[in-house]
């Protein structure tokens, strides 16, 4: 390793090893959060400057998207040095300062760990591709061509085309689930696993509280290299790739979500457990088996603590029936697993546009669905700017940076629209993000949603997030309780959250028209205040105006 780890002294008081259960995690895309050195790109010092904002919002932790050294072909998801910070974002000392300030403010720090693949300029891959007999020859997934020179099988890349690229030096194909510049590591090689666990320990020693594990179900492939079977057209709904991509035509049973992965996750969890309260959340990209994979990877207490699938990150609009179905389905397959739910992130169209367009009152709609998200059983991820109601930016082709979007333009415009800079000051140049030209444009329509326009306005979406997160912290049932659904119809959804002797009833109307929910008259219910919604209890019936919610405690 190029940089020595720095052992961080931790408080003597026993930490809460269970802090992650029900935690609210605020995702930061570092290129777009705050630029501190006027180069148009966000950085670690910029994040440090804005940490008080996140603490004031009420989050428990931050997840920082990749900032390790990288050629930036996929904006940090192609790592060339796992143990150093890319100069674009700062230095290891800057990261140490970020950890210290976050901890001072009571925030946990989770970093994005991208270990399914590296950049093709990583020293490991340079050595691996140099010959078939070097010490790292088997560190990546290599295979011979078929007799006719074509790739070993029919596996496809999410970024388009074959998942195999020809290497002239080794006269073999190497596997890449994403860009050709992102060769996949061979997790069947124990040395590869050991090296990646050493990387993980490096960051734990610096004081990191946990990790978001990119593409956690892509680590292993079938060593038999069997062809993936075709999917019937009606089942081609993979949310990890756009509909214009034939990747969706296959059932990916041989190139991801392999059973061998559980063994590595147990090794990973054993390492985490050496530290006072380290935790991990995995990204599961598998539309055919997503919730089952989440259950498999988080069950037993000896794998990762939590995972998220794409059930609420999909284009399909959230609805009362879908919420009930997803939560109940997960409850059936996961006896002791734990999910982390999100409506937006750096890979999907922002939900303010994806779902909010066409609603009679978009701000009111965003308030009620955010309250729903923060009331579900599971942990929560909030993506930077969703607390402001930022919409998906409609960028011109010449402004695109995302290779995924450039590849599938114009039918699919890529991920740049959700990655535009955070807006802090409506009157400042570039919304207060940078004094230089930003790496992506700041949409004019975002300036009216900037932090300075919403802070202190009780009716704003930002103040709603702050208010509701404070309300949520008052009742432990929201973070750690069980969930039981109450019968409701139409756009209404209701459930109770039970923890110890406390049971909270939560009722939501996701539509513009009024709704009622019959709670029955079996137990007395005390209405709760402090959440900002105007629903009312009339006998055993909850009456909700459009986009309203109600909360009560069962006696």
Beta-bridged to residue 302, according to DSSP, are none
Beta-bridged to residue 143, according to DSSP, are 173
Find out whether 210 and 27 touch, Cβ atoms under 8 Å. no
Find out whether 237 and 290 touch, Cβ atoms under 8 Å. no
Q: Where are the alpha helices (DSSP H) in 73-140?
A: 92-104, 123-128
Q: Is 198 one of the annotated active-site residues of the chain? A: no
Q: Is 286 one of the annotated active-site residues of the chain? A: no
Token pair for residue 309? Answer: 């699938």
CA count, 13 A, side-chain hemisphere, 117: 26
| End-to-end CA gap in the chain | 58
User: 44-57 and 92-104 are packed helices; what angle lies between their axes, rounded to 10 degrees?
Assistant: 10
Which residues 6+ apart lie within 8 Å of 313 measured at CB?
Answer: 239, 342, 343, 344, 345, 347, 348
Distance separating alpha carbons of residues 21 and 104, to the nearest angstrom: 21
C-alpha to C-alpha distances, 398 to 134, 141, 302, 434, 451, nearest whole angstrom? 43, 35, 47, 20, 28
Distance separating alpha carbons of residues 76 and 80, to the nearest angstrom: 9
Tell me if residue 542 falls in helix, strand or coil: strand
Catalytic position from the list 9, 12, 148, 274: 274
Distance separating alpha carbons of residues 327 and 308, to the nearest angstrom: 12
CA count, 13 A, side-chain hemisphere, 246: 10
Which residues 6+ apart lie within 8 Å of 234 measured at CB?
Answer: none
Catalytic position from the list 214, 386, 402, 503: 214
Tell me if residue 81 falls in helix, strand or coil: strand
Residues noted as catalytic: 214, 274
């Amino acid at each position: 390793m190029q940089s020595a780890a720095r052992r961080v002294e931790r408080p003597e008081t026993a930490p809460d090893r269970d802090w992650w259960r029900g935690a609210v995690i605020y995702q930061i895309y570092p290129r777009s959060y705050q630029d501190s050195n006027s180069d148009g790109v966000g950085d670690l010092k910029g994040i440090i400057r804005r940490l008080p904002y996140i603490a004031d919002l009420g989050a428990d932790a931050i997840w920082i998207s990749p900032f390790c050294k990288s050629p930036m072909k996929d904006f940090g998801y192609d790592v060339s040095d796992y143990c150093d910070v890319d100069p674009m974002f700062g230095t290891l000392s800057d990261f140490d300062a970020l950890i210290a300030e976050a901890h001072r403010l009571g925030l946990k720090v989770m970093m994005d760990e991208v270990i399914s693949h590296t950049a093709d300029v990583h020293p490991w891959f340079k050595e691996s591709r140099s010959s078939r007999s070097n010490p790292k020859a088997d560190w990546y997934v290599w295979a011979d061509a078929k007799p006719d020179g074509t790739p070993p099988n029919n596996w496809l890349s999410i970024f388009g085309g074959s998942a195999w690229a020809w290497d002239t030096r080794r006269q073999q194909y190497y596997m890449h689930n994403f860009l050709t510049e992102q060769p996949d590591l061979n997790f069947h090689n124990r040395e590869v696993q050991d090296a990646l666990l050493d990387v993980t320990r490096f960051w734990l020693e610096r004081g990191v509280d946990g990790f978001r594990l990119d593409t956690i179900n892509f680590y292993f492939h079938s060593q038999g290299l069997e062809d993936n079977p075709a999917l019937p057209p009606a089942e081609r709904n993979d949310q990890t790739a756009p509909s214009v991509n034939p990747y969706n035509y296959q059932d990916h049973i041989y190139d991801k979500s392999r059973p061998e992965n559980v063994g590595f996750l147990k090794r990973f969890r054993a390492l985490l457990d050496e530290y006072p309260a380290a935790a991990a959340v995995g990204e599961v990209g598998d539309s055919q088996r997503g919730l089952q994979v989440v259950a498999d990877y988080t069950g037993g207490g000896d794998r990762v603590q939590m995972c998220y699938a794409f059930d609420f990150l999909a284009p399909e609009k959230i609805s009362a029936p879908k919420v009930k179905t997803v939560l109940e389905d997960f409850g059936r397959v996961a006896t002791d697993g734990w999910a982390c739910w999100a409506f937006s992130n750096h890979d999907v169209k922002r939900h303010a546009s994806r779902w909010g367009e066409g609603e009679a009152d978009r701000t009111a709609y965003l308030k009620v669905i955010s309250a729903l998200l923060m009331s579900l059983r599971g942990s929560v991820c909030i993506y930077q700017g969703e607390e402001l109601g930022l919409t998906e930016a409609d960028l011109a082709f010449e402004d695109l940076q995302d290779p995924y979007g450039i590849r599938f333009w114009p039918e699919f415009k890529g991920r740049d629209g959700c990655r535009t800079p955070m807006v802090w000051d409506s009157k400042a140049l570039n919304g207060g993000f940078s004094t230089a030209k930003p790496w992506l444009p700041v949409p004019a329509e975002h300036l009216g949603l900037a932090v300075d326009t919403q802070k202190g306005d009780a009716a704003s979406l930002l103040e709603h997030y702050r208010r509701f997160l404070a309300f949520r912290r008052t009742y432990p049932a929201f973070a750690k309780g069980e969930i039981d659904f109450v019968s409701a119809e139409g756009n209404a959804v209701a459930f109770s959250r039970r923890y110890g002797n406390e049971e909270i009833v939560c009722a939501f109307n996701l539509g513009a028209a009024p709704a009622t929910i019959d709670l029955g008259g079996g137990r007395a219910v005390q209405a709760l205040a402090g959440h900002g919604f105007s629903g009312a209890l009339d006998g055993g019936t909850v009456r909700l105006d459009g986009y309203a919610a109600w909360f009560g405690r069962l006696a």
